[in-house]
Structure 1
């Protein structure tokens, strides 16, 4: 399916689901905030090492539509004024960034309304890099979540689940976004996994690729189900391969502009 067709299909889906998700978003946000408070004991294991999970954001960083996500204009010149200042034009969903519920729901929470307590979470990392080596559009599915639980124990309520697909190694290449013939190709979450994680009371999901959904998704099924439930997502997470499967705490420095559907964020983990 062409990029424009995908976007048009998403618009139609969002409108048809508006009334369905309005109530779910409000109740979901309250439940997630409560889960975040109960998750505090799971965040006490960190030893103090900080891992920066944020890419440097410039005009060359890959974006979904291929256009630069940031533009600079000199507002104050140092030689003339003794200080310097840029005027920035930024696309919300570019660089390492957060997806707020409002991104895929007409009346969902904007980024400034996300409860602060849900932005500090126990972090669980699920590794699907072996699958992604053979399939550029590999998806983290329910069986991957179940395998993680079998190996590591229960996922805490209010946690953030990060996907490690190994895709960060491609970030400086065209393959981070698409195949040589221009088709989207990158790993993401499968709806079977996010439905299960929602039942577990997870607050957020994070991908080390360009999107929460795999590149070949025809309908953004994860965006359309996860975000309207009052949960948030993170895309383009860096250095995920430096994190343990469990025991770290993630700090999501979400932007706080009114009516925001998301935005570039500084994401840190304490390990």
Structure 2
């Protein structure tokens, strides 16, 4: 979720979400883009919308031969009724549509994929020259994967994932294709790009800066530094990460490496199944009571160290009581990226792990869902 801090002083009089987020722009939280696809309303024919039927037909043009193409169109048209005459079985459809893959070719493809994965994973290294504008570009180095364990730092997203609904709609999943009818299942999702574990990119804070599809890929693989303030956060919902926390970390682990990603561990992810605890709102202060990264810590990381980004396991980089998204602006306008709603940071060590950010490459996106993995 993007900064929940830009709350209008007259929040109690705020219009409904549709008034804020509908039409051609946002009244509040304008830096968010919502999907205009709020679910199909078109009449369906026996469980399929016309759009889904034609979408499938177009896909089949490339995937199947003419016989399979017409047979599946007939099956979709008849819904759950009898299969069309001469329609091939599911196995025959696969054989006719895609052709059997020779065993040797399949093995070769698997080897190629393993080789590509090994080449893609690297440790972020040297940063850009001092004084350069924007994020440093990490330099990939070979990484030996043998003996590594993988930790998933990503929340599963579903319709019940907690969102601050002044800005963000709840995710919606709607199944539109069914194996009983056409042999496979697909669903359409309607969700904000800043839902669940997600990346904030520079354009999220200022137009004209890098969007989701322009983040240098070498910056998405980085040494992971985890700074824990869990005990403090358990006592104070609105605590912040400060320079002294970073210096304490360095006294234990050495200097934060160039090209690193710094993650604040507050233990907040344990609350995700209780929306009131994950996004506690104080109506008197008009503020979310969630921890964040202090401006002093952000300034230190951006000027005294050479990082690719930082993030948190809470839903905002900024503490919930700050009405201006200061830390967002500091980080994103420097050309770096942030990650919010990280999970399971307590399963990785303070230092020594490598973060791999599988960010969706959304063309023109101001953010994107990510699958964040730590190699330990």
> 2:7 pairs with 3, 9, 13, which one?
3
Going from structure 1 to structure 2, the CA distance change for 1:94 and 1:82 (only over 3 Å counts) comes to same
The residue that corresponds to 1:37 in the other structure is: 139
Map residues 223-234 of structure 1 onto 2, 5 A cutoff: 223-234=328-339
The normalised TM-score by structure 1 is 0.85
User: 2: distance between equivalents of 1:45 and 1:74?
Assistant: 37
Residue 71 in structure 1 maps to residue 175 in structure 2: no
The residue that corresponds to 1:121 in the other structure is: 222
With 157-166 and 170-179 compared, the bigger mean Cα shift is at 170-179
User: 1: distance between equivalents of 2:358 and 2:247?
Assistant: 29
User: 2: distance between equivalents of 1:81 and 1:151?
Assistant: 58
Going from structure 1 to structure 2, the CA distance change for 1:201 and 1:8 (only over 3 Å counts) comes to farther
Residue 61 in structure 1 maps to residue 161 in structure 2: yes
> 1:191 pairs with 295, 303, 306, which one?
295
The normalised TM-score by structure 2 is 0.62
In 2, are the aligned partners of 1:119 and 1:251 still within 8 Å (CA)?
yes
Q: What is the deviation of 1:47?
A: 4.3
Q: What is the deviation of 1:9?
A: 8.8
Residue 51 in structure 1 maps to residue 126 in structure 2: no
Q: Which has the higher contact order (CA 8 A, sep 6+)?
A: 1
**Larger Cα-atom Rg:** 2
Residue 243 in structure 1 maps to residue 348 in structure 2: yes
Residue 267 in structure 1 maps to residue 372 in structure 2: yes
Map residues 14-33 of structure 1 onto 2, 5 A cutoff: 27-29=133-135, 32-33=136-137
Going from structure 1 to structure 2, the CA distance change for 1:69 and 1:266 (only over 3 Å counts) comes to farther
Map residues 91-130 of structure 1 onto 2, 5 A cutoff: 91-130=192-231
> Per the alignment, in what secondary structure is the counterpart of residue 277 of structure 2?
helix
> Per the alignment, in what secondary structure is the counterpart of residue 217 of structure 1?
coil
Unaligned runs of 5+ in 2: 12-25, 32-131
Q: What is the deviation of 1:44?
A: 7.0
User: 1: distance between equivalents of 2:261 and 2:147?
Assistant: 18
The residue that corresponds to 1:161 in the other structure is: 262
With 44-53 and 153-162 compared, the bigger mean Cα shift is at 44-53
What does the per-residue CA deviation read over 1:97-140, in whole Å, with 9 as the maximum and x for residues that have no partner?
A: 11011100111100110000000000000011121122101100
Going from structure 1 to structure 2, the CA distance change for 1:134 and 1:228 (only over 3 Å counts) comes to same
> 1:175 pairs with 231, 253, 277, which one?
277
In 1, are the aligned partners of 2:260 and 2:308 still within 8 Å (CA)?
yes
